Structure 1
């Protein structure tokens, strides 16, 4: 029987909890090299969320130091951030 694990948060540092922290808001990252991670969007405005994020993704198309473009669907700024592609 497989054990469900708590999702990891993008950008966690050793010594910090790898999972979600109470009182924080998260967007799930869907698709691409960061699929399944959570992005801490605590304090982001609706406009901030709509703009999405370019996130460092060592496993992406451009290797270490490359960026993965994630953004919510146009009609759902409060929803998950979907992968749009990679950039250098």
Structure 2
């Protein structure tokens, strides 16, 4: 992916009018599930925090309002977080 394509990507938690990824920040791509293709800002996260993965709020949760979508880092490739399912 070239720099121009990266800058057009949406960042999880940023507003719809957000300019996209910012220089000097570190991002992981969310792969699969309802947030597929979005970027997650992991700037400043420790190795352990990245390794634990995340549970993110999603508008389209299978378990209804308030449910979360789980993503875990891909083994050996922490810049990719794979969808791991839903949690209440």
Output the TM-score relative to the length of structure 1.
0.83
Q: Write the distance in 2 (CA, Å) between the matches of 1:14 and 1:32.
A: 20
Out of 6, 13, 16, the residue aligned to residue 15 of structure 2 is 13
Which blocks of at least 5 consecutive residues in structure 1 are unaligned? none
When the two structures are aligned, how many residues end up with a matched partner?
83
Question: What SS does structure 2 have at the residue aligned with 1:79?
Answer: strand
Which blocks of at least 5 consecutive residues in structure 2 are unaligned? none
**Displaced runs of 4 or more, over 3 A:** none
1 or 2, which has the higher strand percentage? 2
For residues 59 and 24 of structure 1, do their structure 2 counterparts lie closer, same or farther at Cα, with a shift above 3 Å needed?
same
Q: Write the distance in 2 (CA, Å) between the matches of 1:21 and 1:63.
A: 32
The answer (yes or no) to whether the contact 1:49–1:77 under 8 Å persists in 2 is no
CA RMSD between the two structures: 1.9
Partner residue of 1:65?
Answer: 66
Q: Write the distance in 2 (CA, Å) between the matches of 1:84 and 1:42.
A: 22
Residue 64 (structure 1) shift: 2.8
Output the TM-score relative to the length of structure 2.
0.83
